[in-house]
């Protein structure tokens, strides 16, 4: 991509009200733009990061057999009335009347709809032991939206819902989701990641964990274990690495954290609440065992934006190419034509900006690799000089190994 | 994908009210499910088709330099009040009040928002000559939603908006979009495709064309030229192949049609209406010249669903694999393990369905290639036997050439 052809809207400074660690870089670098309170437009840079993040999540969930669907953004209020959450959910759920005065809602969560979908026809034991998920926009009318995408009103969420014939299989699937989520976060290079035993809250059930990231600007406190978390084989192993929100347990330290994902096992709660059952081998009705598993996708983008360089897995561009002055622009453009065939590269081809200005904007974009064309060609990885080269072929060799 | 692990909800019959050519197959085959009037859930099969369609559109638009962004689903009503469309748009636009009684709208079209985004900072001539687009969900509260996705309320739309310094460049870009759209529709194997001169309607401007498909269940009439349409180099060539909605012109026949895409050139209308201008080389303010270009993405899925087999470019699966009876299931499963490494293949691994039932469901899914394992292995392309084989290696050779 040539910057001159791109829609890149950087900002030199931002208003004081936006000065949150999670918002500043996204606004200054032109990744998102505020449309109204807690509602954002995704600019080309931000949309690229968001889509790559979404793809990583899909890939890992598909690997463990989850099946993707998409519920509508606007849904009938009927099911929410049936589950009695229509009244209890309060003002965070947006309610709309259509032209025929039928009540629609914009769902902040989708247990009702997903159960209704799964049980829309008679379900036999053969149809069970599946997990449906979606990655779709949701809306929560937060009283005080803050920190940009961290607590926005319109947000992208991955939510998965499981439907199992028995407790053991459902709990094994709970562990599969823990492990898949960990794979996702490893691909995103997230550090200061912890897992915390959580209360199941209003959803109910007896097993629940949150993935959290340590952050001084976090909105809750947790006692985190001083271990780096890893894949688990059983619930005991998961218990060994989990911290707690309320209780100070052994080898934990209290930290300010932000939540990035939440997994619940709710057993037969939704089966009972909504009267959904499957037909077993003997032709009798049985309750199903389920859980739900969610990641705040747009929130992840906010967290990743706090690092100077994006991880290569979601970077809007892998390589940022620029020249130190006009004299080298021609060779820079030629190198671009070669690189673009193999890499997601952006070249700064503007003649009205100084080298210093271009470097500042390259910092805002945050591509993990940078190539600077001058007397020598310099290749940087995350701000560190890998080497100086006199031939571009040598750079190709290194890039081939690295990317 | 193994059908036993997939979420496949076919229906033997559907209610009379859903018996539309554009809806029946999607419901019976389990591609979509109605959530409420004009609002649909995308089941795994439908979502796969939709995403592939979306990707084809993105690819072609990126080729002509369009830049993807994403506006929020819910937007502040302020801009619509400024353009005076808040009152004039009527009941098709859904209006919502948030918890602080601020007015939000769910936009049925995005001229206001996209102009506001493009001109959110001072724009110089260097920033001009760009096209922003999005592929996102929209909502129109139709008085009488009908024909499923054809005239639904929640729908996926691609909408592009151009910003040019002069008329000539803006009109050339209009032709680029005509040609890009034609490339998209060729990739989708759409037939009975025509281009029609259209009135610019409430948007204003002096140049507008619609892409339409002949269909007895269409919702308007048009006089279509008896030529197959092709790429154009200038407006005269476009005129030569265009029909008309109202006027019977030479070599045209009146047909019932459905609209699938609409391109507008509106000149300086939005520049004047919303007072958006750019700074030219002399430092003076100038009006911009623009157009907008839209495709009904979910509507395309409805049109494609009327064919027995999906085009390979958007088929939910390329190959459908099944055995004539249990005796051959083992070899069928082994072939699946080999094919899945290279192709998007679905295998019917269910033991509780007869061969006839499996074939009926394969018809509903509509993969363009089918392999039936029995004494011989039969390979079909769109229902036609290519050949019988005794070794699977021979089938691989053919598939390699075909897909």
Question: Mean pLDDT throughout A337-358?
Answer: 96
Paired tokens of A61: 């969930």
Same domain, yes or no: B132 and B265: yes
Q: Which residue has the tokens 């060799």?
A: A397
As a residue count, chain B comes to 403
- At A18 the pLDDT is 79
Q: What are the Cα distances from residue A369, in Å, to A47, A191, A313, A345?
A: 20, 20, 12, 9
Q: Output the pLDDT for position B401.
A: 92
Burial of A378 (0-12, 13-18, 19+ CB in 10 A): middle
The verdict on A15 touching B (C-beta cutoff 8 Å) is no
Can you say how many angstroms the Cα of residue A92 is from the centroid of all Cα atoms in its chain?
21
Residue indicated by tokens 């689903």? B73
Over 80: is that where the pLDDT of A255 sits? Answer: yes
Decide if A40 and B72 are in contact by the 8 Å CB cutoff: yes
Do B298 and B232 lie in one domain? The reply is yes
Q: Are B83 and B116 in contact (CB under 8 A)?
A: no
Q: What is the DSSP letter of B216?
A: T
Distance CA A186, CA A193 (A): 10
**B106 touching chain A per CB within 8 A:** yes
> Which residue carries 């990739």 as its tokens?
B187
Asked if the model's pLDDT at residue A82 lies above 90, the reply is: no
Is B72 in contact with A35 (Cβ distance < 8 A)? yes
**Contact between A33 and B143 using a beta-carbon 8 Å cutoff:** no
* pLDDT given for residue B226 in this prediction: 87
Q: Are residues A353 and A293 in the same domain?
A: no
Helix (H, G, I), strand (E, B) or coil at A148: helix
Give the closest-approach CA distance of A286 to chain B in angstroms.
20
Write the CATH number for A323: 3.40.50.800
**Full residue range of the structural domain in which residue A87 is found:** 3-304
| Helix (H) / strand (E) containing A298 | helix A297-304
**Within an 8 Å CB–CB cutoff, is residue B55 touching chain A?**
no
User: If DSSP codes are grouped into helix, strand and coil, which group holds residue B173?
Assistant: helix
Task: Write down which residue in B257, B277, B304 finishes a domain.
Answer: B304
Within this chain, do residues B268 and B328 fall inside the same structural domain, yes or no? no
pLDDT at A28: 95
The pLDDT, as a whole number, for residue A124 is 96
ipTM score of complex: 0.96
With an 8 Å Cβ cutoff, are A75 and B36 in contact?
A: yes
Element of type H or E holding B261: strand B252-267
Residue where one domain finishes, among candidates B245, B270, B304: B304
Which residues numbered 214-243 in A keep a CB inside 8 Å of some CB on B? none
In a domain, B386, yes or no: yes
Judge contact between B203 and B269, C-beta under 8 A: yes
Q: pLDDT band for position A358 (50/70/90)?
A: very high
With contact defined as beta carbons under 8 Å apart, do A67 and B102 qualify? Answer: no
User: What size, in residues, is chain A?
Assistant: 403
Whether A247 maps to a domain, the answer reads yes
- List pLDDT tens digits, range A259-289: 999 999 999 998 998 899 999 999 999 999 9
**B226 to chain A, minimum CA–CA distance in Å?**
39
Q: What is the Cα B15 distance to its own chain's centre?
A: 26
Cβ pairs A/B, distance under 8 A: 133
- Is A314 within the bounds of a domain? no
Contact by Cβ (8 Å): B11, B27 = yes
Q: Domain boundary residue among A280, A304, A328?
A: A304
Q: Are residues A349 and A211 in the same domain?
A: no
Average pLDDT over every residue of A99-117:
92
Amino acid A291: pLDDT:
96
Contact A280, A244 (CB under 8 A): no
Asked, for residue B314, whether it belongs to a domain, the answer is no
Q: Do A67 and B350 touch (CB under 8 A)?
A: no
Q: Strand A252-267 relative to strand A277-279: parallel, antiparallel, unpaired?
A: unpaired
Question: Which contiguous run of DSSP H or E holds residue B50?
Answer: helix B44-63
The per-residue pLDDT for A104 is 93
Classify residue B46 by its DSSP letter.
H
Q: Which residues of A touch B132 (CB under 8 A)?
A: 7
Q: How far apart (Å, rounded) are the C-alpha atoms in residues A29 and A11?
A: 7
Q: Does A33 touch chain B (CB under 8 A)?
A: yes
Pick B35's closest partner by Cβ from A72, A130, A350.
A72
Residue A76 falls within a domain, yes or no? yes
Distance CA A218, CA A216 (A): 5
Q: Are residues A300 and A338 in the same domain?
A: no
Is there a contact between A154 and B71 if contact means CB atoms under 8 Å apart?
Answer: no
Distance CA A273, CA A119 (A): 14
A132: which strand partners? A67, A161
Q: What integer is the mean pLDDT of A4-28?
A: 90
Report the alpha-carbon distance of residue B245 to residue A242 in Å, rounded: 67
Both B297 and B333 in one domain: the answer is no
Same domain, B297 and B338: no
Question: B251 with B175, same domain?
Answer: yes
Q: Is the same domain home to B148 and B251?
A: yes
One domain, residues B293 and B362: no
Q: Within an 8 Å CB–CB cutoff, is residue A98 touching chain B?
A: yes
Query: A135: domain CATH number?
Result: 3.30.930.10
A62 interface with B at CB cutoff 8 Å: no
Does some domain include residue A309? no
Closest C-alpha among B113, B131, B32, B22 to residue B76 = B113
**CA R_g for chain B:** 24
Cα(A322)–Cα(A371) distance, integer angstroms: 6
Q: Between chains, do A36 and B7 touch, taking CB under 8 Å as contact?
A: no
Distance CA B48, CA A134 (A): 12
* A189 and A293, same domain (yes or no): yes
Among all residues of chain A, which has the CA nearest to that of B352?
Answer: A126
Domain annotation covers residue B310: no
Reported as a pLDDT band with limits 50, 70 and 90, residue A203 is low
Instruction: Kindly state the tokens that stand for A196.
Output: 């915390």
For an interface test with A, the pick among B48, B66, B99 (most A C-beta atoms closer than 10 Å) comes out as B99
In chain B, how many domains are there?
Answer: 2
Name the residue facing B44 among A37, A69, A120 (closest C-beta).
Answer: A69
Q: Cβ–Cβ of A70/B76 closer than 8 Å? A: no
Residue A199: inside a domain, yes or no? yes
- Give the residue-averaged pLDDT of A138-148: 89
How high is the pLDDT of residue A144?
87
H or E stretch at A332: helix A329-339
Report whether A160 contacts A131 (CB < 8 A): yes
* Rounded distance between C-alpha atoms, residue B128 and residue B288, angstroms: 9
For B:112-131, CB contacts with A below 8 A are 113, 117-118, 120-121, 126, 130
Q: Is A106 on the interface with B (CB under 8 A)?
A: yes
CB B184 within 8 Å of CB B248? no
B47 inside 8 A of chain A by CB:
yes
Substitution target in A81, A89, A96, A153 with the highest count of B β-carbons within 10 Å is A96
The answer to whether residue B173 neighbours chain A at the CB level (below 8 Å) is no
Intervals of chain B under pLDDT 70: 200-205
Predicted confidence at residue B61, as pLDDT, reads 98
């Amino acid at each position: 991509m040539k910057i001159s052809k791109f829609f890149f809207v950087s900002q030199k400074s931002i208003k004081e009200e936006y000065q949150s660690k999670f918002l500043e870089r996204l606004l200054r670098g032109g990744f998102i733009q505020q449309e109204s309170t807690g509602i954002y437009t995704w600019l080309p840079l931000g949309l690229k990061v968001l889509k790559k993040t979404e793809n990583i999540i899909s890939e890992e969930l598909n690997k463990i057999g989850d099946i993707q669907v998409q519920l509508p953004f606007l849904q009938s209020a009927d099911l929410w009335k049936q589950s009695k959450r229509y009244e209890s959910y309060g003002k965070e759920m947006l309610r709309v009347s259509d032209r025929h005065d039928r009540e629609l809602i914009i769902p902040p969560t989708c247990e009702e709809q997903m159960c209704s979908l799964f049980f829309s026809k008679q379900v036999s034991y053969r149809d069970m032991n599946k997990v449906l998920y979606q990655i779709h926009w949701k809306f929560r009318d937060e009283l005080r939206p803050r920190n940009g995408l961290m607590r926005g009103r319109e947000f992208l969420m991955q939510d998965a819902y499981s439907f199992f014939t028995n407790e053991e299989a459902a709990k094994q699937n709970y562990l599969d989701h823990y492990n898949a989520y960990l794979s996702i976060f490893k691909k995103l290079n997230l550090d200061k990641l912890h897992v915390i035993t959580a209360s199941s809250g209003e959803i109910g059930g007896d097993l629940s964990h949150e993935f959290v990231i340590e952050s001084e600007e976090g909105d809750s406190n947790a006692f985190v274990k001083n271990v780096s978390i890893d894949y688990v084989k059983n619930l005991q192993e998961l218990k060994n690495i989990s911290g707690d929100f309320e209780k100070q347990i052994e080898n934990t330290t209290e930290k300010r954290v932000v939540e990035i994902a939440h997994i619940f096992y709710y057993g037969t709660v939704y089966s009972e609440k909504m009267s959904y059952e499957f037909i077993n081998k003997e032709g009798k009705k049985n309750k199903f065992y389920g859980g739900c598993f969610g990641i705040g996708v747009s929130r992840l983008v906010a967290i990743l934006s706090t690092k100077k360089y994006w991880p290569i897995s979601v970077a809007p561009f892998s390589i940022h190419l620029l020249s130190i002055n006009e004299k080298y622009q021609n060779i820079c453009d030629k190198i671009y034509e070669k690189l673009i065939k193999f890499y997601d590269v952006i070249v700064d081809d503007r003649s009205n900006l100084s080298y210093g200005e271009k470097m500042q904007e390259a910092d805002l974009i945050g591509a993990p690799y940078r190539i600077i064309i001058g007397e020598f060609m310099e290749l940087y990885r995350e701000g560190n000089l890998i080497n100086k080269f006199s031939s571009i072929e040598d750079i190709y060799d290194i890039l081939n190994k690295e990317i």
